[in-house]
Structure 1
Amino acid sequence: MLTIRLLTAVLGLALHGGLHAAPAFTLASTDMAEGKMMTASQVFHGFGCTGANLAPQLSWSGAPAGTRSYAITVYDPDAPTGSGWWHWSVFNLPATIHSVAGGATAASLPAGAVQARNDFGDSAFGGACPPAGDQPHRYQVTVWALKVDKLPLDQHASGALVGYLLNANVLGKAQLTGLYGR
């Protein structure tokens, strides 16, 4: 009987505006849009691609309570590798940071931020470069709100290892998916 009364009270509050949802954790970019083709600015320069190889501008808001740091990943699940392709992993971004500038590099990221090794073999952003003739690939840009101040990794960590620790420490994620094909 108590359960029914409690459920009725909660539903009543929800219907009459007494319960407020937490703000949504959202990600935006001036350089890319959800579900749209990316420009040459975010395309790799090499492997037959001739883009500018610039990380996209990103800004986020509405992180979950308790967020102590952020990470950013860019991942292509459509790469013909059997395990996708890690284009960028940045972690140990302070919780006070809510954006990164377009073209971000180690020099322009906040002190203490670490860029792990991408699948091109660099500890930096590596742009889109799917095989010629493939359907457009999806490039999942994710900002991770984390419950820890720092991940115990360095710039030599693989995308898979970074992903493992991100999933172990995540409070919330915000994502944009851009497309690119050639």
Structure 2
Amino acid sequence: MTLNQTKAPEIGEEIAVIKTNHGDIKVRLFPEASPKAVENFKTHAQNGYYDGVTFHRVMKDFMIQGGDPDGTGRGGESIWGRSFEDEFNPEYHNLRGSLSMANSGPNTNGSQFFIVQKSDVDDGFIGQMKKAGKDGGFSDEVIEAYEKLGGTPWLDFKHAVFGQVFEGMDVVDEIANVKTGANDKPKEDVVMEKIEIVKYK
């Protein structure tokens, strides 16, 4: 069995194209797993909320984070004007390439998100996942996906996964490798020029 998260999109499925000054990142969205997070992201994208916004926090071998119009990591809000609750699903995890909600604690989701860039998982975490097992949210398929792809399992059930990059991980890697300064902020702006919501062809 293959995880739905790692499957290619189907023709006609809605996807997001994050157009950056480093290239395009194409993402499958998972409304069945995180309906509010997807609605929030799609509506912000279609309203131009993310146009010209930076990836303000970039950490090589970890993740790239954006979605704050202030560019500080402290700004941004949801389409409802307030924080919304976490949506966790045992079938969706913070694998390499996952698009997940950034937050400052439980149920504090706003407009910020990150893409996991880490390409491996420490053996210690694999052991912990095996010990936790399916009842702990880590099926054999999930553990296998982490072993194959990499990712950040310690963020599972803390940051809701609502999408997965299926094309453009080379762009994510390039962004993750830019020079950064204080607070992991890129020295030269990494800009999301636009996020388009389109049907996959």
Considering the TM-score relative to the shorter chain, is it more than 0.5? no
Report the TM-score range of the alignment, normalised by the length of the smaller protein. under 0.3
| TM-score calculated relative to the size of structure 2 | 0.26
More helix by share: 2
Query: Could you say which structure has the larger radius of gyration?
Result: 1
| TM-score calculated relative to the size of structure 1 | 0.28
Q: Which has the higher contact order (CA 8 A, sep 6+)?
A: 2
